[in-house]
Amino acid sequence: MVCPVTRWRRRKEARPQELTDAALALFVEKGYAATRLDEIAAQAGVSKGTLYLYFSSKEELFKAVVREGLLPLLAEGETLVANAPGPASELFRTIVVRWWEVVGDNPIGGIFKLIFAEARNFPEISRFYAEEVIDRGKRLLAAALQRGIDSGEFRPFNPDDLVHIVFSPLMMRLIWKHSLDCCGVHTVPTDVYLREYIDLTLRGLRRDAA
């Protein structure tokens, strides 16, 4: 039989995850500004006081959601770029497919739309997101592109200049998914979109295309 102290410890350890899950669901549904801490606590099944045991503010809770949902994927991508064998085109394909599996097919993808919609009103969370997610993601993708340039597989270009161009179609598809898709506006199925996006991008990057 589990003693009450052990049961309480297990429950207490689980609560931060429950709070970030609840916060993510509400942030994606309502946006950052409209989401209240008491709503997050209620959705997680705890009191607002309990929420404050773990997070001092909505901003800190948002940061925890982002760190929990996106930073492990960035770390995984950095390891992949450093160690994956084979051509750069396959590395690029793997990065895109994995990114969509983790971000595009899960609620955390709604954070991207939130940032674009509310960045001007909440510059503090925008700066945090830029420093911990965007800048790190740009370095990761630029390193993957540089690998193709160095091997002669990709044509010469400045990878830092192309990062935004290469990634923008993925971002647009994700924002569409969390906006117009919800209204039933027709678009290209995701599997077709990703397949054609990868093909078109690699055709433009390869040296033989030039």
Amino acid, single-letter form, for residue 9: R
* Buried b or exposed e, range 112-133, using 16+ CB within 10 angstroms: bbbbeebeeebeebbebbeebb
Q: Which domains are delineated in the chain?
A: 1-56 (1.10.10.60), 58-209 (1.10.357.10)
Q: Tell me the C-alpha distance between 94 and 61, whole Å.
A: 31
**Confidence band (pLDDT; 50, 70, 90) for 8?**
very low
Q: What is the DSSP letter of 86?
A: S
Q: What is the pTM of this model?
A: 0.86
pLDDT of residue 208: 81
Is the pLDDT assigned to residue 2 strictly greater than 90? no
Q: What is the pLDDT of residues 175-203, one digit of tens each?
A: 988 888 777 777 889 999 999 999 999 99
Is the pLDDT assigned to residue 13 strictly greater than 60? no
Q: What is the pLDDT of residues 24-62, one digit of tens each?
A: 999 999 999 999 999 999 999 999 999 999 999 999 999
Q: What is the pLDDT of residues 110-156, one digit of tens each?
A: 999 999 999 999 999 999 999 999 999 999 999 999 999 999 999 99
pLDDT of residue 35: 96
pLDDT of residue 209: 60
